[in-house]
Amino acid sequence: MRLAEFPTAEPFLPARITLPALKKAVQGCRGCPLYKNATQAVFGEGPVHARVMFIGEQPGDQEDLAGKPFVGPAGKLLDQVLEEVGIDRSDVYVTNAVKHFKWEPRGTRRIHSKPNSREMAACKPWLTAEFQVIAPKMVICLGATAAQDLFGPKFRITKERGKIMENTGIAPMVMATVHPSSILRAPDHDAREKARKEFREDLAKAAKRLG
């Protein structure tokens, strides 16, 4: 793709950076070509000054249709585990590194397709603005794409998951763990249970540090 197709989201940000203004402005974003096949942009949701901010990769099929993040099966799993570890859902802001659903057709279904580095870079100004407004105490990256968006392509979830990092310049505390959708994709019941237990342990560690 030509570089001109990735002008970046920066010119589409509102003059005054507030959540309502950002949420309205993102619908007009043409910072990369992904808007062409998406139903709508899906911006983050949650209270201003939430203590915890979760970042996923991008909206899924259900999120694209609903216009809300984490409303599909992965979001329901996240909600369940948050309740189990004692993180108040009303104290959580959820968003994605990329705001438009990238997909490819498979029969009648729309199958998730991973955003590339240019799409991630083009969309980054929205996430930067969310950090500015929310100023969370802890950021939790869900999956490799979100973590690599913040820490670069060499970051490995397999090596760093569950570690609470400080002095990153992003938030007082940052953690990376798996995306709940990866748990749902596990090949069998035992694998899913194991993956869910490990995910719960990561979020329990976050809950303990949040106090």
CATH number of the domain to which 144 belongs: 3.40.470.10
Between strands 164-165 and 173-177, the pairing is antiparallel
Q: How many domains does the chain fold into? A: 1
Which residues are paired to 45 by β-bridges? 94
CA distance linking residue 142 with residue 48, whole number of Å: 20
**165: phi then psi, degrees, rounded to nearest 5:** -100, 140
The pLDDT score that the predictor gives to residue 4 is: 59
The pLDDT score that the predictor gives to residue 156 is: 96
Q: Which domain holds residue 83?
A: 3-210
| Residue where the block lists tokens 């808007």 | 35
Q: What is the pTM of this model?
A: 0.95
User: In the chain, which residues have pLDDT < 50?
Assistant: 1-3
- Who's near 53: CB < 8 A, 6+ residues apart? 44, 46, 92, 93, 94, 95, 130, 131, 134, 136, 138, 139, 140, 171
Report which DSSP code applies to 45.
B
The pLDDT score that the predictor gives to residue 211 is: 87
Strands (E), the chain: 52-56, 92-96, 103-106, 109-112, 138-142, 164-165, 173-177
